[in-house]
Amino acid sequence: MSIPHGMIGIRHVALFIKELESAVDFYTRVVGMQIEWQPDPDNVYLTNQGDVFALHRVSYTPDPMQRLDHIGFVLTDAQAVDDWYAHMVAHDVRITEAPKSHRDGSRGFYCLDSVGHLLEFIYHPPIAQQLLQK
């Protein structure tokens, strides 16, 4: 069986959040996303004009097996990685791994959002070139 064509990346991520207001503030103020839709006080859908990032308030601790490793934000070039790194440092975001270039030409860093999710900001040449050709 062949794999269908058409996928160019992950365009939707949804997270369970206890501290919803803190997460919305972080992703709008620091990351620059916009609220696309907020159907009620416990659900917010953010966008960067290409992705849908859903935050759903829960009052319980989600099952550990539901754990997410990290969320990756693809950047246009290696300089953008350094610019985003400086931006995060200026906003006192906790950095877990400083920018690093890899043998495959990618460059990225890791940090934590305001409620503890691991984020990766990465320039990955094949993905960036494909997205920029559109």
Contacts of 28 (CB under 8 A, 6+ apart): 34, 35, 46
pLDDT for position 14: 87
Sign of CA dihedral 67, 91, 45, 50: negative
Dist CA 51 CA 83 (whole Å): 21
Helix (H) or strand (E) holding 73: strand 71-74
Dist CA 93 CA 21 (whole Å): 17
Distances (CA, A) of 117 to 39, 48, 79, 103, 130: 23, 18, 24, 26, 27
pTM: 0.79
φ and ψ of 18, to 5 deg: -85, -45
pLDDT in 10s for each residue of the chain, 134 residues: 675 566 656 678 989 888 999 999 999 999 999 999 999 999 999 988 778 899 999 887 767 666 677 898 888 889 999 999 999 999 999 999 999 998 889 999 999 999 988 899 988 887 777 777 76
Question: Are 24 and 35 a contacting pair, CB within 8 Å?
Answer: yes
